[in-house]
Structure formats: structure tokens, C-alpha cells
Structure 1
Amino acid sequence: MKLKFILIALCVIALSACAGKPKEEAINPNQTAQGQYQQAKEVLDAGLYNRAIELLKAVESRYPFGPIARQVQLDLIYAYHQSGDLPQALASIDRFIRLNPNQPDLDYVYYMRGLTNLKADENAFQEFFGVDRADRDLASTRQAFDDFRILLNNYPQSRYADDAKKRMVAIKDKLARHELLVADYYMRRGAFLAAANRGKYVVEFYRDSPLVEQALEIMVESYDRLGLDKLKTDTEQVLLLNFPQNARFR
């Protein structure tokens, strides 16, 4: 009983201390706009993203049209992305593009939109254990591809262009794998025409992917099951012409 009383007393003291602790101010109102922004930037650079968001939002609300307003908006995009608040990151990105259609920083904004859409399709637990997630809906990944394409088309000299190109290659491979997984699903259920169409899609839109060979194999087998001999023969010739070492149909 005595021990129970001591524990209760300690809890009461702890709660009283928390209740009496003053709330941390978002920003120092006596600082200049630049000083307030610098405070937020230091927190952001330290990786304290949720706290940085609080500070940056406070600066933005005080100085929505000042000389640092656009940089604050850009930093908020990054902070939301890093904190994992992807819907808010995308909302901030779209708002920036809408309000600043001719700004030189738009290459960075489209780059961040691509990264954010990619992140929306990620699952840290499954990625860690190497689970192939190409069979899931990849709408955000497709959008990321479009974001990087806009970046490359409109800002080919951007410092982010090279990385965007590499990511587009990886995305195309992921999307091609997605199509083949769906094709395999159709094959196993006897929907051979649907499977052939998925393979054809890979050949037409991801022709530089190493998975084209597998797509052609699916097409050949599907046409064979459907009794479409002409399509089967034509596709088989394309397969062997481009992949002469193919062991399945040579």
C-alpha cells in the first residue's frame, strides 16, 4: 500500500510539472523576418521536420508576400516530404506551381513532386524485406514518371535532370513488371487475350526494358492457346530476331 501511494504521488507530480510547463513559442516575434526564417531553417537542417513545419508555417503566416515567402514555401515542401506527410507535400507543391508558374525553381518543385509520388507507393516494411510490390496499383508511380518527364522536357539543363532520368528508367522497369504480373494472372485464369494485350503493351511502351523478351513469350503462348496461328508465328519471329538466344522458342 505504501509503495502504491508513492507511485501515485510521483505520477501526480509529473503531471503537474507537464501542465505547468509553458508552451514553446513557434517563433520569436521580436526577430526580423530573416531572423525568424533563419531560426526555422536551422531546425530544418537539423532534421527536426515537424518542428520546422511549425516554424515555417508561422513565418509564412506573418510574411505571406515578403521577399522570403517563396523560399519558405519551398522549404515547407521539403519538410512535409521528409516528415512523411505526403498529401500535404503534394498540396503545397500544386499550390506553388499554381501561384508561381514562371519561377526558376519549378524544376526543383517538379522533382520533389516526382519523389513524393514515388514515396506514396512505397512501403518501408515490405521494401526492407525485399517483397516485390509491382502487382499493386501504381497510380502514384505513373504520376511520378510524368513529373520527371515534365522536368526533363521543360528544364533539360536542371541539376536534377540526371537523377530524374535514372528514376524514370527504374520506374519503367517497375511498370513493365507490373504489366507482366497482371498478364501472368490472366494466363493462370485462362484469359489469354487479356494476357496477350498486357504483353503487347510492354512491347509497345517499354521497348527498351529487359522484360520485353518475357512479354513476347507471353504473347506467343497466349496466341497459341487462342489458336491465332498467324499472330503466334509473327510474334515468335520478332522474339527470335531480337533475342536469338531465347531458349524457350528457338
Structure 2
Amino acid sequence: MMTRRFMLFALFAALAAWPALAPAQQLPPAPTTSPGVEPKRNVFQEWRDKLNKPKEPPPVDELFKQAEENFNGRETVWGKLVRKTAGEDSKLYKKGWLIKRKNETRALEQYQQIVDNYPFSKYAATAQLRVADCNYALENWEEARINYELFLKLYPKSPEVPGAMLRLGNCHYEQMQKPGRDQDQTNQAVLTYTDLLTRFPEAPEAAEAKTKLTECRTRQAKHELIVADFYFKRKDFWAAAARYRGVWQLFSGLGFDARSQFMEGSCYESLGKIDRATELYTQALSQTDAPEYVAKAKARLEALRGTAP
């Protein structure tokens, strides 16, 4: 028993005196390929890297050319056939039926690329205008409005200014509401068309601006009449009279003179202002835009003078 204990004690003593082993040195990783042999390509990783790599925009000349083709229309196979057989002066070719295919959405992206990536190029002004034109063609009226305003601010001396102003007014025109609703878009259209006609009275765009300005002012007049009638029905005759007076003073010649003068006269008659009412009824007699109100004015004058209608 003692011998066994002595042997164990000797063993532990020997282990305690044994010198510490040096840590094993780390060996370099074994080469995956033999020397002189190229490592295998990771095709999937290369493909992934190509997809994630941001694309460089094409040269501005090429980009602008592509955008113009998409905006103005690329000639189709049918178009080439008609041009070669019948010629560009033929009625069929001029009609453009299946002759050219437009892509305003793609053109918009390309023009926007030019604006964003080449702001100082020779195409910058045209690209900014075309961004607005593409939105206009796509009936994105608010986006078109914003970009037309930006173009006019950045390039006020451009020869394209009259056209841009007309289409800016049209953006408001297309968003006008009925006469009984808010007329902010109508008011903005009036301001834009008026500015165009003041600055460029001889421009080709002036004719369309003049026609649409008349439409807008007619809508404004109808709106004022609706408000005036509302006050009249509530027997707020002072407020109604002011509104009717505004119609024939601000919108004279649009077909509401006789009506507004007669109604203003009715307001003053209701207020006991007979002299003023008589004056307005007399003015209404000289109008020709609304015979029924002229007849009413005549009847009221005869009544006020004590004569049977």
C-alpha cells in the first residue's frame, strides 16, 4: 500500500518538474491550388458585383439623341415603308398613323438624366424644358407646372419662353374646377396668360392664350355671380351689391353686364336706395347680352315711375 502511494507521489512530482511545452507554431494555410495554377473564378460573385455596380450614364450626346427620338417618335418599319414608297410629302406619312412610335415615359427618364448628370452641357436648357413637356404629354399637370416654372426661372431669355408660358398656363387651365368651387387654378391661369400676352403679344402662342384667357375670365365671372346670388338669397344686400358691381366692372363684355346691373339695382331697391336702383336699371337697358334682364330692368323702371308694366 505504501509502495503504491509512493509511486503516485513520484509520478506527480515528475510531472510538476517537467518543462512547459512551447506553443505550437501556426502553419500558413495550405494553398488551395498548385503553384503556377490560377485560382478558380467565382462566376456568381462576379455576376453579383456587376449587378450591384452603379451604371455610368451614357455620353450626353448619345443620351440626348435617344431622348429626342423617344420624345418625337421613332420611325417604325411601316413608316420606313411608306416613306420609301409614297414619300415624306404623302398624306399618309404626314398623318403619322403608325409612322412613328413615341415613348414619353422613357424620354422623361433620359432628359432627367441629362438635367441631373450634365447640368452645364449644351443640352441642359432643352432637357429641362423637355422634362416639363414629357410630363405635360403624360398629363402630369403638377409635375409639368413645377418644371415649366423652373425652366422659366433658369432660362428667362430662351426663345422657348412663350411656348413654356403657354403650356404653364394650360397646366392651370386643365386643373380648373367648376364655377361653384375654388378658383385658385383659374386665377393662376389668368395671371399666366395675361403675362404672356403682355410680354409677347405677337408670338404664335398669343392666339391660344387669348382664347383660353376669355374662358378663364368667364369662369371667374360665373363664380362671382354664384357668390353674389348666395348673398342676395340671404338678403345680405350690401354684400350682394358689391359682388354684382364687381362682375360688370371687372368682366365687362363677357355676357353678364345686363344681369349683374339689374341684380345690383334690385339690391339697392331692396335697401330703399331708389335713385341708385333707377340708375342701374337704366344702365341695364343699354346692354344687349341678356334680353330677359333688359326686359326686367324696363319693367322695374316703369314700376318705380308709377307706370303699369
Asked if 1:168 corresponds to 2:213, the answer is yes
Please give the alpha-carbon distance, in whole angstroms, between the structure 1 residues aligned to 2:56 and 2:196. 38
The answer as to whether partners of 2:133 and 2:144 remain within 8 angstroms in 1 is: yes
Corresponding residue for 1:84? 139
Q: Which residue of 1 aligns with 2:163?
A: 108
Aligned to 2:279: 234
Identical residues among aligned pairs (%): 24
Matched with 1:95 is 150
Number of matched residues?
214
SS of the residue 1:77 aligns to: helix
Q: Residues 28 and 36 of structure 1 are in contact (CA less than 8 Å); yes or no, is this contact kept in structure 2?
A: no
Structure 1 position 102, deviation (Å): 2.0
1:40 matched to 2:40:
no
TM-score normalised over the length of structure 2: 0.64
The question of whether the paired residues in 2 share the 8 Å contact of 1:107 and 1:160 is answered with yes
Provide the C-alpha distance between the structure 2 equivalents of 1:208 and 1:61, rounded to a whole number of angstroms: 48
Q: Unaligned stretches of 5+ in structure 2?
A: 1-50, 73-100, 299-309
Look up the match of 1:7: none
Residues 200/47 of structure 1: CA separation in 2 closer, same or farther (3 Å cut):
farther
Partner residue in 2 for 1:63: 118
Higher relative contact order (CA 8 A, sep 6+): 1
Aligned mates of 1:41, 1:58 — CA distance in 2: 13
The alignment status of 1:187 with 2:240, answered yes or no, reads no
Residue 138 of structure 1: aligned partner:
183
How far apart, CA to CA, are the structure 2 residues paired with 1:48 and 1:234?
Answer: 62
The structure with the largest alpha-carbon Rg is: 2
CA distance in 2, matches of 1:54, 1:190: 57
- Paired residue for 1:249, among 297, 300, 307? 297
Q: Deviations over 1:35-89 (max 9, x none)?
A: 2122222323355433332221112222211111111111111112233333322
Going by fraction, where is helix more abundant, 1 or 2?
Answer: 1
2:174 partner SS: helix
Give secondary structure in 2 for the equivalent of 1:239.
helix
Aligned mates of 1:158, 1:233 — CA distance in 2: 46
- Shift of residue 29, structure 1, vs aligned partner: 4.1
- Indicate whether 1:51 and 2:96 are aligned: no
- Alpha-carbon shift at residue 200 of structure 1 (Å): 0.5
Q: Distance in 2 between matches of 1:68 and 1:161?
A: 27
Alignment match, 2:6: none
Q: Which runs of 5+ in 1 are unaligned?
A: 1-22, 123-132
Distance 2:259 2:61 in 1: 58
TM-aligned CA deviation for residue 206 of structure 1: 0.8
Please say if residues 261 and 281 of structure 2, whose CA atoms lie closer than 8 Å, have aligned partners that are also in contact.
yes
